[in-house]
Structure 1
Amino acid sequence: MKRTGLLNSELSYIISKLGHFDALTVCDAGLPIPEGVQRIDLAVSEGIPSFIDVVKAVLMEMELESVELAEEFKDVSSDRHDELISVLEMESAQRGKDIPVDYVRHVNFKLNTKKSVAIVRTGEFTPYANITFKAGVVF
């Protein structure tokens, strides 16, 4: 049994297979998941697990090139957005390099999820609490 880091075997496996620029999306409970994209459904009930907790778990395992967020996230759910940006800034400082944040309209964010290797559904009930991680390389 794995005792540290990301314990979900399906999610850990997906991250281990990602190549440079491959996309992995972590979403709230309501984001539509396109047909043909692998769904990793972690949602148990409202808020469990939270979006931020899953983001932090993914960050422990994944090398990043950049992230993508919906523009609407900043205005509609500013508290959660600011919390996420704080997590990303702390991660950037810890890694010693910037994590670029790209914003797109929500309609385009949803279209872009078709390119994700997998989408991880959380129990988050906050509108627009979605992020797409673009994989980086460790060298």
Structure 2
Amino acid sequence: MKRTGLLNSELSYIISKLGHFDALTVCDAGLPVPEGVQRIDLAVSEGIPSFIDVVKAVLMEMELESVELAEEFKDVSPARHDELISVLEMESAQRGKDIPVDYVRHVNFKLNTKKSVAIVRTGEFTPYANMTFKAGVVF
């Protein structure tokens, strides 16, 4: 049994297989998962696990190129959006490089999830609390 880091075997395996520019989406409990995209369902109940907790766990394991968010996230759920941006800024500082954040309309965000290797569903009930990680390389 793993002692530290990401303990969920499905999620750990997916991250280990990601190549440069592959996409992994972490979402709230309501985002539709397109047919043909692997669903990793971590949702237990409202808020468990939270979107931010899952994002932090993924950040510990994954090399990032950039992230994608829905434009509506900023206006509809500003507290959660700002919390996420703070997490990304701290991560950027620790890594010594910026993590670019790209914004798209929510309708386009949902369409883009069709290209994700997997979608990780959390127990988050905050509207638009969804993010797609784009994998980087470690060299």
* TM-score when normalising by structure 2: 1.00
> Matched residue pairs, number?
139
How far 1:98 moved relative to its partner? 0.3
How far 1:136 moved relative to its partner? 0.1
1:107 counterpart SS class: helix
How far 1:113 moved relative to its partner? 0.0
Instruction: Quote the Cα distance in structure 2 between the aligned partners of 1:2 and 1:113.
Output: 29
How far 1:30 moved relative to its partner? 0.1
How far 1:68 moved relative to its partner? 0.0
Instruction: Quote the Cα distance in structure 2 between the aligned partners of 1:13 and 1:113.
Output: 19
How far 1:103 moved relative to its partner? 0.0
1:120 counterpart SS class: strand
Gaps in structure 2 of 5+ consecutive residues? none
Cα deviation code 1:73-92 (max 9, x no counterpart) = 00000000000000000000
* Percentage identity across paired residues of the two chains: 97
2:36 counterpart SS class: coil
Instruction: Quote the Cα distance in structure 1 between the aligned partners of 2:42 and 2:95.
Output: 27
Gaps in structure 1 of 5+ consecutive residues? none
Instruction: Quote the Cα distance in structure 2 between the aligned partners of 1:82 and 1:23.
Output: 22
Instruction: Quote the Cα distance in structure 1 between the aligned partners of 2:7 and 2:79.
Output: 28
1:118 counterpart SS class: strand
Give the alignment's Cα RMSD to 1 decimal: 0.2
